[in-house]
Amino acid sequence: MTIDPMQQIRETVSFLKQQYPHQLEAGIVLGSGLGNFANAISIEKEVAYGDIPHFPVSTVQGHTGRLIFGTLSGKKVVAMAGRFHFYEGYTPQEVVFPIRVMKLLGIHTLFLSNAAGGVNPSFKVGDIMIITDHVSFFTPNPLIGKNIEELGPRFPDMSEPYKKDLIQKARQVAQQHSFDIKEGVYVAVTGPTFETRAEYKLIHALGGDVVGMSTVQECIVANHMGIRVFAMSVITDMGIREEENVITHEEVLQAAKEAEPKLAILFKELVGSI
Ligand code: HPA
């Protein structure tokens, strides 16, 4: 028997609506080391991934694996503390399953965050970067396969994957709160290895400013479904440095944690503005 993806999505949605019967406005995905942001939300309901029908279970250290429902800046939101990565062995369709569920729960705007390696030499560890565009050629497109017509078109437009008005608002927020914010292109790779020196150089030569192992598949399905997307990266390591180039997951988590207050300000204000 083939599994109907829409049926699975609907079953999950109806389960979650029983848990939290409010119309949602925004979805938030918290990247590696950024889970503390959940404390900014006035939490009304939490559901562990393991308790949600059809949800994959997150395996990476630093991801707590729960869906958080509550109010942020006066808006009803759902946040993923822990996301699903392709490198964990999930199919691209499993990676994006929660985003599709969020759409049917009513969200119209999606806020994505991640830890990423900097390849733009003017960046430094701890910087935050608004993602203005991305390159997804190194990771499988989650829309490959039979198109789910109910969700969106066969050939979605990707001319504005990250919404310009939200980018503009983020610039203003950073300015008002007197912190520096970078902007640039996110190049998605599968991981789980960090890149070799040659790969970091190549990614920079291809027009990338940062490189990471998430976000882009989620952004693609969100665009497919007409969800407005804003995304940002925390630069947790510099891939282009000339000195010894050892990068560890611990260093990535630590750098993300330190930058988290800036992410909190941005997401709070942006959610308030939608
Ligand atoms: N490369 C890929 N993904 C990452 C990195 C990196 O350097 N840092 C955090 N996520």
Which has the minimum average pLDDT: 22-26, 176-180, 236-240?
236-240
23-49 pLDDT, tens digit per residue, is 999 999 998 777 788 888 999 999 999
126-178 pLDDT, tens digit per residue, is 999 999 999 999 999 999 999 999 999 999 999 999 999 999 999 999 999 99
d(CA 225, CA 151) in angstroms, rounded, equals 5
DSSP at 38? G
Could you state, in order of their start, the residue ranges of all structural domains in the chain? 5-273
User: Is 32:260 a contact under the CB 8 Å cutoff?
Assistant: no
User: Is 108:25 a contact under the CB 8 Å cutoff?
Assistant: yes
pLDDT of residue 62: 46
Ligand 1 is surrounded, with C-beta below 6 A, by 115-117, 189, 191, 194-195, 211-213, 236-237, 239, 247, 252
- For the whole model, what pTM was predicted? 0.94
In the chain, the amino acid numbered 90 is Y
> Thinking of the domain 5-273, which architecture would CATH place it in?
3-Layer(aba) Sandwich (3.40)
Mutate to test the pocket of ligand 1, among 34, 195, 199, 200 (most ligand atoms within 8 A of CB): 195
What distance in angstroms lies between residue 119's CA and the mean position of ligand 1's atoms?
A: 10
What the block records as the tokens of 114 is 């991640």
Mutate to test the pocket of ligand 1, among 32, 119, 194, 235 (most ligand atoms within 8 A of CB): 194
d(CA 80, CA 26) in angstroms, rounded, equals 11
